[in-house]
Structure 1
Amino acid sequence: MARLAAIGQPSRSRWGFLRLVLPYWNSEQKWKARGFSLALLLLTLAQVALVIWMNYWNRALFDALEAKSLSRLMVQIGTFVVILLLTVGVTALHMQVKRWLQLDWRKWLTVKVLDRWMAHGYHYQLQLTEGEHDNPDGRIAEDIQVVTGSTIALIHSLVYSLLIFGSFVDILLRVTGSASIPGTGLLVPGYMVILAFAYAGGGAMFGLLLGRPLVKATNRLQTAEADFRFGLAHARERSESIALMQGEEVERRSSTAVFAELGRRWYRQTLAYSGIVSFTSGYGVLLPVFPILVMAPQYIAGSMTLGVLMQAAQAFQQLTSALSWPIDNLSELARCRASADRVMSLYNDLLLLEERAAVRQEHRISLAQSNQAQLVLRDLCISNPDGKVLIEGLNEVIQRGERVLISGDPTVTICLFKVLAGLWPWGHGEVSLPAGPAICFLPQRPFLPPGSLQSVLSYPQPVGTFAAGAMQRALECAGVAWLAARLDEADNWHSVLPLRAQQRLGIARLFLQQPAWVFIEEATSVFEPKDEEYLMDMLHREMPDTTLLAISLQTGLERHYQRKLLLNHLPQEEQFLGYGTSLRELRKG
């Protein structure tokens, strides 16, 4: 089937992402979200305070060791126990608050995207439109988790690093003082701060150069991972058909090929990682040694104590680590950015579908609810997503209680089925749906959600809506009374039942729910003629006032209907053969 041109490009703007996610703090649970956010900030401040306290404790400990004072050492041991207990408590509480916030934000964003994906058949229409929205299930289940979890973790680490930076710049300036440049006599104030900036700046520059390919490699790998999962899920869902056709080898080769591409993208990401890992390893090994070597002459000269030397060395490490935040988090930033782009591209395309549905367009079918008990088609033209006309000039009025057989070209008849269901907007003209409850649509393969048989029959109503006796009666009318004993049994009915039994369950759902309007798409296609005749008689008897529109390619069913619509997709000069022809006229012909 032809696909529509791209409906949108993924937003690469950070502002687009912020517009999507920031309303969480103004949502219905805003006070709880703001409260936990404030608690997270306060706990981060507590973590920084404990690190500063530990820095001063480190100075006092080494001064006590240098003075060989046992009493001062015991005081520092007691102080360390207090710092340790507070650090453990604050860290544990911080983790709980952060993970609650990550989960709640993920839940809010998941519901926001899921509501649009599952609204008005957009999840179906999205498959027929081009754009960067492949594997929407993976984007909702995995990429949103990455976006929310990583964003909060990254923001926390950034705030922590900024606080550490401000605190330890001051400490390092006060404890190291100035140093003279050899041979010149010039004093350089705050030389250790300058060296910390140079050390971190050089590391950031080289790290960014080495990590430039990482964002693209990570994005491509995540796409390959999603494609691999989708292929395996597709094989699982179609396992019976694959087994019957002995297509396991084809599926195995297909999965192997997809995994081979995944492997190639994995190695490209590995190459991108390897340069960063090699550099950061050396960078990290040198970090604790570098400040001690630089300040050692001052200690040897007696201008600073051992405690001051160790405090300054630790402050240098803390400051440099804070300045190295972009390098330390480069891979996580790339992963978060890639997932944010995937979520944004899906959400943007869903928004475009929603906007197009809300605005009356010349090349879009208008679907609206009327105040009359009739279905009206006015100048209806149905086309493919690429604009190719399937049928045009269709005008028809179907009254409440009518029985209408629809036959002809399957492409046209099935598209009409989708038009009335709101899944196919391509074309032009108007469709006025009948007042009251929506039309019940029964496709060729009915949807049977996993769960108890009661939930299958009640779907989309909740379990408990219908009495057990009514369910048993519906199963009996549909010819599957043997399933009544399994009403409370949970199973994957789509897999365990043959198609004929699945179609009978779909018919049983009609008998149970008694909809006022029913549109059937070859829902008895695998039945024997006598079984189909029986079911049609049962529909007339059990649902005498229901309006029935049925697509069927089988002959011999005309007696069950009052009239027949014959819809054909013919060459361009003949868009359709006819419509609204009565059975009497057909028989005369």
Structure 2
Amino acid sequence: MTSSRPPHARVELPLDLGSHHFLVRVWKLTRPFWFSEERWVARGLLAAVVTLSLLLVYLQVLFNFWGNQFYNSLQERQEEDFWALITYFGFLAACHIGVAVYANYLQSLLKLRWRRWLTEVYVGEWLGTRAFYLLEQQPQGTDNPDQRIAADLNAFADQTLGLSLAFLNASVSLVSFLGILWTLSGTLEFSLPLVGPLVIPGYMVWVAIVYAGLGTWFAHTIGRPLIGLNFEQERREADFRYGLVRVRENAESIAVYGGEAQERVGLHQRFTAVVQNALNLMIGTKRLQWFTTGYGQVAIVFPYLVTAPRYFRGDFRLGDVMQTASAFGKVQESLSIVVDAYASIASWKASVDRLTTFHEAIAAAAAIERREHIRCETHPQTDDATLALDEVSISLPDGLTLLPATNLRLEPGRHTVITGPSGIGKSTLFRVLCGIWPWGDGRVRQPSGARVLFLPQRPYLPIGTLRDALAYPFGTGQATDNELRELLHACHLGNYAGRLGESDNWGRRMSPGEQQRLGFARALLHQPDWLFLDEATSALDSSMEAELYELVFARLTHSTVVSIAHREQVARHHRQQWRFVPGVAGTHVEVLPLAPNPA
């Protein structure tokens, strides 16, 4: 069964890393963790990682000076110095290994704690404000929130920390090796016509700056399209996974319809979109890699070309040449951090944009709750047990009115059936009574402290034990397993009575009729004051439907039942009918009494 999600056009996103707007967005995503309840542990780990990173830079400086002495000992055939320097190298290498291992370990630990905190916050906001529901009702809702929580949060924590430390290391390395390169490179003297003699002190420093500046500009020009391509690749991959999950979740329906060929076409279209964008991403990456690889290779030999004339004149010893080349490489590498990390920056920018839009969508959903607002209130008088709709009008998210301002009352014990043509708004009325539908106006007054349970046409069964599925969402309370088994037998699910502790995806394991019977067992367990049934017996035959209704009325004597149904025989179990009637001036509701069930 293919998804109805619309295809998305490729997005071109500028690499506006230095813009105030982008930096503000990054700060909004980054700041909360570092000022949360995790702040002291997080700051301590960050301080340790930074300290170890600075220590690695210091060790690189020591390696640089070691290289000068080592190659000089080779040139001058000083065997004693050679073996002493090898021993010293072993000490430096051991220190470097230990510091590098712990720096990487603590950085991974910090990233994991950051990701865990981000995931808890975003899942809390996504579920806590009912954004998960409201975003699905919007015609332009945020795509694939599961992918943004699972993948983008991980990428953001990993890449933000990694890139920040990379830029810090580059800055410290630049400062550390700039002085070395300045001292070693000496001055460059030459003459130009009409200008005369020129002297450039520390000329290799200026060469490194120009070289890195040109490299950064070319890398940005060549790699800029990768931002949008990375953004789009994540979205298309998520759409393809969503299509696969839909097939798995609806396997029986697809098999019954014989829809395998249609599903194959739909999945092929989704995967073709993945491949097309991946090819564009590969081509863009190849172009960038042509440049960055050539850029890096030239940087290896360039300092030797510059220092070779002085070496052959006898101004430099071999150790001076090697130390100069190493210092030049470190300065050039530090200045070229954008060139070397451009692909990672592009991926990070895409993750920031996806998380920003997701966060904004959650905030917009919360604003809908405040702005559109059908208000749900409890009666100030605790003895008033009625459920009332006061001037309630119901709209769709696009503004179309389903039901104009209406006043209705549900009295306790007055079982009510709601009827009317399909698509007229009966189920939406249930969503209003449930308090999850904000589009419209008016007030819903509920009895104080009342327990309410809604059973939709297909009850939600969480993945886990059958016991948890039966007791969802309130838990088993004081009920024993024997009592749960009795409820299953009463609802003609005796074949499942011995499987309470078995874990499974019960929404796929059970047939639609079994799922609806489990919904009735759930109602008997929780004993709500108000029980709302939305086509809750549509998959059952009339005799089973009648038996379950009679079971509910026999055991839930204090409950008031409100049903949506299209079958006429359902009405005989109720005392009142709300009939939705379409009209020229809009839909209105007729309240009709029903004769008591003679049974």
Task: Please give the TM-score of this superposition, normalised by the length of structure 2.
Answer: 0.92
2:254 matched to which residue of 1? 242
CA contact (8 A) 1:374 1:435 kept: no
Q: Structure 2 regions of 5+ residues with no counterpart?
A: 6-12, 14-19
Structure 1 counterpart of 2:556, from 509, 520, 543: 543
When structure 1 is superposed on structure 2, of 368-377 and 18-27 the one drifting more is: 368-377
Structure 2 counterpart of 1:173, from 147, 163, 182: 182
CA contact (8 A) 2:395 2:403 kept: yes
2:594 matched to which residue of 1? 583
Match of 2:569, SS?
coil
2:387 matched to which residue of 1? 375
Q: Distance in 2 between matches of 1:586 and 1:507?
A: 20
* 1:129 corresponds to 2:138: yes
Structure 2 counterpart of 1:302, from 314, 317, 327: 314
Match of 2:128, SS?
coil
* 1:292 corresponds to 2:304: yes
1:354-365 superposed matches below 5 A: 354-358=366-370, 361=371, 363-365=372-374
**Distance verdict in 2 for CA 1:481–1:324, change over 3 Å:** same
2:213 matched to which residue of 1? 201
Instruction: Give CA-to-partner distance per residue, 1:365-395, whole Å, 9 cap, x none.
Output: 2223334433110111112222221112321
Q: Distance in 2 between matches of 1:165 and 1:68?
A: 33
Residue type at the aligned position of 2:88: T
Structure 1 counterpart of 2:54, from 45, 60, 63: 45
Tell me the number of residue pairs that the alignment of Structure 1 and Structure 2 aligns: 575
CA contact (8 A) 2:487 2:521 kept: yes
Structure 2 counterpart of 1:283, from 295, 298, 302: 295
Q: Distance in 2 between matches of 1:558 and 1:329?
A: 68
Instruction: Give CA-to-partner distance per residue, 1:52-95, whole Å, 9 cap, x none.
Output: 11111111111111121111111111111111111111111111
When structure 1 is superposed on structure 2, of 263-272 and 432-441 the one drifting more is: 432-441
CA contact (8 A) 1:219 1:338 kept: yes
1:65-80 superposed matches below 5 A: 65-80=74-89
2:399 matched to which residue of 1? 387
* 1:434 corresponds to 2:447: yes
Instruction: Give CA-to-partner distance per residue, 1:99-151, whole Å, 9 cap, x none.
Output: 11111111111122211211243212111224461111111111111111111
Cα root mean square deviation, aligned: 2.2
Q: Distance in 1 between matches of 2:469 and 2:163?
A: 44
1:334 matched to which residue of 2? 346
Residue type at the aligned position of 1:518: L
CA contact (8 A) 1:121 1:422 kept: no
Q: Structure 1 regions of 5+ residues with no counterpart?
A: 4-9
Q: Distance in 1 between matches of 2:129 and 2:226?
A: 38
CA contact (8 A) 2:572 2:596 kept: no
Instruction: Give CA-to-partner distance per residue, 1:471-526, whole Å, 9 cap, x none.
Output: 11211221212211111111111112111011111111111122222211111111
Structure 1 counterpart of 2:576, from 558, 563, 580: 563
* 1:453 corresponds to 2:466: yes
1:220-235 superposed matches below 5 A: 220-235=232-247
Instruction: Give CA-to-partner distance per residue, 1:32-67, whole Å, 9 cap, x none.
Output: 111111111111111111111111111111111112
Q: Distance in 1 between matches of 2:129 and 2:52?
A: 44
**Quick one: percent identity of the two aligned structures?**
32
**Distance verdict in 2 for CA 1:585–1:116, change over 3 Å:** same
Q: Distance in 1 between matches of 2:450 and 2:408?
A: 20
When structure 1 is superposed on structure 2, of 307-316 and 506-515 the one drifting more is: 506-515
Residue type at the aligned position of 1:249: A
Q: Distance in 1 between matches of 2:566 and 2:198?
A: 97
1:7 matched to which residue of 2? none
CA contact (8 A) 2:396 2:439 kept: yes
Give 1:405 shift. 1.4
1:248-267 superposed matches below 5 A: 248-267=260-279
Structure 1 counterpart of 2:65, from 56, 59, 72: 56
Task: Please give the TM-score of this superposition, normalised by the length of structure 1.
Answer: 0.94
**Distance verdict in 2 for CA 1:386–1:297, change over 3 Å:** same
Give 1:238 shift. 1.0
Instruction: Give CA-to-partner distance per residue, 1:177-223, whole Å, 9 cap, x none.
Output: 21222676532101010111111111111111111211112212221
1:157 matched to which residue of 2? 166
Match of 1:425, SS?
coil
Q: Distance in 1 between matches of 2:450 and 2:390?
A: 21
2:10 matched to which residue of 1? none
* 1:414 corresponds to 2:427: yes
1:307-322 superposed matches below 5 A: 307-322=319-334
Give 1:533 shift. 0.9
Q: Distance in 2 between matches of 1:382 and 1:351?
A: 23
Give 1:400 shift. 3.1
